[in-house]
Each structure stands twice: as C-alpha cells, then as structure tokens.
Structure 1
Amino acid sequence: MNAIQIAIDGPASAGKSTIAKILANDFGYIYVDTGAMYRVVTLAALRAKIDLNDEQAVTQLLPQVDITFAPGEPVQKVFLNETEVTTDIRSSIVTANVSLISSYEAVRQAMTQLQRDIAAQGGVVMDGRDIGTTVLPNADVKIFLIASVEERAARRFTENQTKGMTDTLEEIQAAVAHRDYLDSHREISPLKKASDAVELDTTGLSIQEVVAAAKQIINQKIER
C-alpha cells in the first residue's frame, strides 16, 4: 500500500480535490492538486496581460511560473512565485480560461512532467482530468468521479461564499457547463474515463459516503 499511485479524475467540482485530500490524509500519502497547477499558469497569464489565445506567448511565460504548495486549513495553500494565490485561482475569470490554457501542449508537457516527478516514488493521490489516461496511465487505482452540473455548480457556489467571492449561482453553473465542454473536446488529453477506471457518481452523496465508496474501490483493487 505504501508505494501505490491513486488517480482520481472527473469534471469540475465533482469532488475530486476534497476526496483526494481525505484519502491522502487517511492513507498517509502525498496529495497532488494538478488542477491548481493549471489554474496558477492561467492566473499568471492573466496578470501578465498577455493574449490567452496566443499559445506562443503563454509558452514563453512558463519559465517565469514557479508553483509551490504548503499545508493549510481548511485548504492547502497555493503559491505563484512565492505569493499566495489560493483564493485568486478559484475566481470565475480563471475558471473560464483555465481549460484553454491547459489545452496548450507546452503547458501540459511542463505540468505533466512535474506531476510524474512527484508521483515517481509512489504513495500519492493525484486528482485532475487526465491523470488515469495520460499523467499516470499505470496508476494502481483509478477512480472517475461524476455529478450533475446543477450539483457541481451548487457546491462551487457554497465554497465561494465561504471565501467571500461574489459570483452568482447562474454564473458558476454556466462556467461549469462551459468548462465541461472545453475539457471533453480539447485535442490534447481530453477529459475522459480511463478504460480501467471505476466510475463513482457523487450526486446526492455526502463527503463521508463518497470517501467510504472510494476506499472500498481502492481496497478491492489492492486485494486483486
């Protein structure tokens, strides 16, 4: 168990990060928030005021983007060049543009290599949209979380309110639906369930219920 890799994929706000953090804590593993990495690159591009549709400009920005994490309560802290951006990367403007930025080949290559380096020693829980298909295709356990657009938007709305963000439920639902479309239709590493992943629908389930179901999947995989 100490050396296994657990990949958790799924669309925006399906509960990936929440469940991955709990599993990592319970199993004593490292948690890798891959989605936050792409959000940091997106935020960096926005702050640099470059044309987000200019792939070359975004690529040239990458050497100037240093991404680090630190423990925090209630959420893990995220830093861009040593400046905390934990809340900033969850804004609507970042959410609306992160799929575009993450579709660029150079961005995905840079983030994928960083993620693989972290996971190389095993004992990790990694969540994202292409972990089981691209980043860690040989992961020991692959779980694909899903939930309705309405429920996912409601979750993000509640989360944002606790952070003092003012995005409306309608704006968030539109952003989530748009993100789903972009993620599943991009040419490079589109969002899709790996053939050997176990699908887990979190609609209507509590966090505790999803964690219990995920642990059951993990234990069954390990036993085999």
Structure 2
Amino acid sequence: MTSDQTPLVIAVDGPAAAGKGTLSRRLAAHYRLNHLDTGLTYRATAKALIDRGLPLDDEAVAARTAGGLDLSHLDRSVLSAHEIGEAASRVAVMPQVRTALVEAQRGFSQTMPGAVLDGRDIGTVVCPDALIKFYVTATPEVRAKRRFDEITGNGGSADLASIQADIEKRDARDSERADSPLRPAADAHLLDTTEMGIEAAFEAARRLVDAALEH
C-alpha cells in the first residue's frame, strides 16, 4: 500500500527481448507513473561522452558524466544506434559508472507519483523496496524470434541463429557478472512470456499490482 506522500515503485527485471520494456510502458501508462528503461541510462552516458569528445576509457570522467544525466528525457530512437550500444558496453562495466547510475535511477524512482523501472537489477539492487517486483522471461528461441521479427519488420536484415547466439551469450554474461548479476529478486513474481502475448502479460501484472495496492 502506498500513501499520497509515498511514490509507487514497480520493478521489472529480465533478460533481453523477454518483453519487459513493453510491459513496463503499459504499466506506467495504466497507473500514470514515470517510466525508465535503465538500459538506456548506460547508452545515454556513452552518447554524452561521445558528444563532448571525452574518452570512453576514463572511469572517473564517465562516472561524473553519468551522475549529471537528466533521466527524464532519454530518446530511445537516438540511443538505439549501434555505435552507441558498442560504446555503452564499454562504460557499463565500470563500477563507478554503475554506482552513479544506480543512485540516479533510485532518485528517479522517488519522484512523485512514482515509477516503473525496467532493467536487470531493479528488484535486487536499484529498488529492493519496490511495492511489487516482476521477473519477465521467455526461452532464448522465442526471444531471438521476437528480435528477428522486430529487425526485419523495420526493413533490416538479420540472421536468426546469430541473434539467438548473441542472446545466449548476453544471458551468460549478465548472469555471471560479479556486480549486480541478472537474477530474480526473492520476492519477484515470475512472468514467463514464452507463450503469453503482451495483453495477457499486462493483465496478469495488473491484477498483481492491484492486489498489492489493496494491502
């Protein structure tokens, strides 16, 4: 239960292409909350460094840049560029950058009326006190097919086997890293979207949020 003075925070974690971003945006719209794709914060840090001509391998500079970001205006279309993703993968491994961004993400979550945050360590690290937590997953095969359909649907070309290999490699890297590994929070609700469309996932999540709000 939240009061008028307490922000409502919903944490949504899970691996790439499981549907957590789409679900998070739906929940944010339904409950009129702010939304943050925390993965974009690493891309925004990288873009800020590139735009300012700053090095991508100076951890102190990158951390300062991360701490000065405005997380309320992240442009997904701009930040999705391949070269920004490549640069983001370099700064995302820096502990000082992760610390700065976790602090910024927490601050974002506390802005009234609250927020839906999605990522890989929201329920475990960023917002462990969130009112409700979800872990959204699906098989690597289904996630690869979704990513393939998304790319080809936008006029791009892609190789399904390569996408699946990349997803499996990323899963292993995210799950095995020492700092904030990808794993469900102990009190997270598991949503397996392998055979579940976004409407069914949203309805399941909405019922759970409503129940949590009533207690």
Give the TM-score, by structure 1 length.
0.80
Q: Which residue of 2 aligns with 1:77?
A: 75
Q: Which one of 1, 10, 13 corresponds to residue 9 of structure 1?
A: 13
Instruction: Identify which range, 37-46 or 135-144, moves more after superposition.
Output: 37-46
The residue that corresponds to 2:126 in the other structure is 135
- Identity of counterpart residues, as a percentage? 34
> In structure 2, what is the Cα distance between the partners aligned to 1:22 and 1:165?
26
CA deviation vs aligned residue, 1:122-176 (integer Å, no higher than 9, x gap) = 5211100000010001000001111000111111122223444433222221111
Are 1:119 and 2:109 counterparts?
Answer: yes
Is the 8 Å Cα contact of residues 96 and 179 (structure 1) preserved in structure 2? no
RMSD of equivalent CA atoms: 2.7
Partner of 1:109: 99
Query: Which of these residues, 176, 185, 199, is aligned with residue 185 of structure 1?
Result: 176
Structure 2 partner of 1:22 = 26
| Corresponding letter in the other structure for 2:99 | Q
Q: Give the AA of the match of 2:107.
A: D
Which residue of 1 is the match for residue 200 of structure 2? 209
What is the TM-score when the length of structure 2 is the normalising length?
0.83
Distance verdict in 2 for CA 1:214–1:112, change over 3 Å: same
Equivalences for 1:92-107 in 2 at 5 Å? 101-107=91-97
Correspondence for 1:218 among 193, 209, 215: 209
Q: 2-side partners of 1:97 and 1:10: how far apart?
A: 22
| Corresponding position of 2:62 | 61
Which residue of the partner structure matches residue 80 of structure 2?
87
Structure 1: unaligned runs, 5 residues or longer: 71-75, 79-83
Deviations 1:158-198 (A, max 9, x none): 22234444332222211111110111111111111111111
- In the alignment, the residues of structure 1 paired with residue 117 and residue 80 of structure 2 have an alpha-carbon distance, to the nearest angstrom, of 20
Shift of 1:46: 7.8
Q: Give 1:204 shift.
A: 1.2
The runs of 5 or more residues in structure 2 that have no matched partner are none
**1:99 and 1:182 in contact (8 A); partners too:** no
- Tell me if structure 1 keeps the 8 A contact 2:136–2:190: yes
